[in-house]
Amino acid sequence: MWISALIDRVAALVGIGRGPAAGASASDGPLPRGYRGPMRVAYDSAVVHEATSWKSRILQRTVRLVFQPVLRFAPVSDRTINLIQRADARSAARGQHSRHTEPVRFELGGVTVESLTHRYGPDSDMTILYLHGGGFFSCGIESHRRVCERLARKTGATVISVEYVQLPHGSVADSVADAATAYAALLDISAHPDKIVVAGDSAGGYLTMKIAEIATRRGLQPPAALLGFSPLLSLDPDRLDKDIKRVVRPRDAYLPLGKIAKIRSRWMPEGARIEGEVSPLDAVDLIDSPTFLVAAEDEILRPEVEAMALALTARGVEVETHLWRGQIHAFPVLAKVLPESDLALQLAADFARRAVGELDSVPTVDRDAHVKVISGEVPEDVAG
């Protein structure tokens, strides 16, 4: 078809060939263009996904060329945040939801949420509480409705997306308070509080882990499982002097490393106090829920994702970690666009259904993924 021919032409112009699709075995054809050998890992029980689809390669190059320069030079100010939020609102106004779902807005403990189920999802008593990403200053229920719809379709769960407070109207401490309030209120009204799964991407991944920690501190029912897509696990992932193993140089397609320090003072202004630990990495002893983690190979947040996996595993917590080559930060939210995103969500759905005792089919397998990998030594130029 002419659309396929046009896409091939665009791929050729940017120097990208189709290559094997995600999930294709290396024996099915040549290795992906630019293949750099086996992925180095710090957590050697991670499931490593080497193949990269042509769509992902185009997207990564586009983000590097267009969005990263904008983020690098844009000032961290109320004006910038307001511009981003207005752009989010305009995009949300044009957004549509699947004809197979009917979103319903209501409040949990005074926090606005949106609930949806999918007409064709499997039978389930599960509820997924979803916390969207966006650096605590962008995105919202509308921007992440599609990923929630897909999780509902793949799990059969009722997915509840949380509209927690963000900059400039509140600090990260306020975001944490909203997330914890919504979770506690959900426990009170749920017919199956033991089947509540908490999920989130990026900043939402931070809130996901904080909910698990706070539930333990308050003596609440812990989440049945945690799903983290490129989760933020500290408020200082840019610091290289922490005892965290780094095996690749970060080349995040989105966030310039230097921007994190500039926004951190806005995340936690003077006087702000987070319940419990500031960083989920420091609260590992209070997190007992089975945990599913996803990270891109060279994103800034990957070292701490592996550190969390190592720490939880050492305590005997069930952990499933997936590391993906050639992807951008928080790529699972792009399930409508990328085959790898759809696969990551299916793997997360399988994990969640298994955690609540509802997995009634053979788990999804990426034929190109492998567990036994070459860990390698930490290169001197990336050691932190």
pLDDT in tens, 59-106: 888 888 877 777 776 767 777 777 777 776 766 655 566 788 889 999
Question: From edge to edge, which strands make up the β-sheet containing 104-108?
Answer: 47-49, 319-324, 291-296, 225-229, 196-201, 127-131, 158-162, 111-116, 104-108
What are the CA-CA distances from residue 136 to residues 87, 163, 185, 242, 258 (Å)? 15, 11, 22, 23, 17
Residue pair 148/116 in contact by the 8 Å Cβ criterion: yes
pLDDT number for residue 62: 87
Q: Which helix (H) or strand (E) holds 349?
A: helix 339-355
> How would you write the pLDDT of the chain (384 residues) with one tens digit per residue?
322 333 344 444 444 443 443 433 333 334 445 556 788 899 989 999 998 999 999 988 888 887 777 777 676 777 777 777 777 676 665 556 678 888 999 999 999 999 999 998 899 999 999 999 999 998 999 889 999 999 999 999 999 999 999 999 999 999 999 999 999 999 999 999 999 999 999 999 999 999 999 999 999 999 999 999 999 999 999 888 888 988 888 877 676 677 788 888 889 999 999 999 999 999 999 999 999 999 999 899 999 999 999 999 999 999 999 999 999 999 999 978 899 999 999 999 999 999 999 987 777 777 777 775 544 444 444 444
pLDDT number for residue 207: 98
Sketch the domain layout of the chain as residue ranges: 39-382
pLDDT number for residue 360: 78
pLDDT number for residue 176: 98
Largest CA distance in the chain: 59
Q: Which helix (H) or strand (E) holds 344?
A: helix 339-355
pLDDT number for residue 223: 98
The SS3 call for residue 282 is helix
Burial of 202 (0-12, 13-18, 19+ CB in 10 A): buried
Which CATH number applies to 39-382?
3.40.50.1820
Which 8-state DSSP code applies to residue 331? Answer: G
pLDDT number for residue 159: 98
Count how many Cα atoms sit within 13 Å of the Cα of residue 278 in the half-sphere of its side chain: 11
pLDDT number for residue 14: 43
Residue pair 183/204 in contact by the 8 Å Cβ criterion: no
User: Distance (Å, rounded) from C-alpha 228 to C-alpha 207?
Assistant: 10
pLDDT number for residue 378: 40
Q: Which residue do the tokens 């059969």 mark?
A: 156
pTM exceeds 0.85: yes
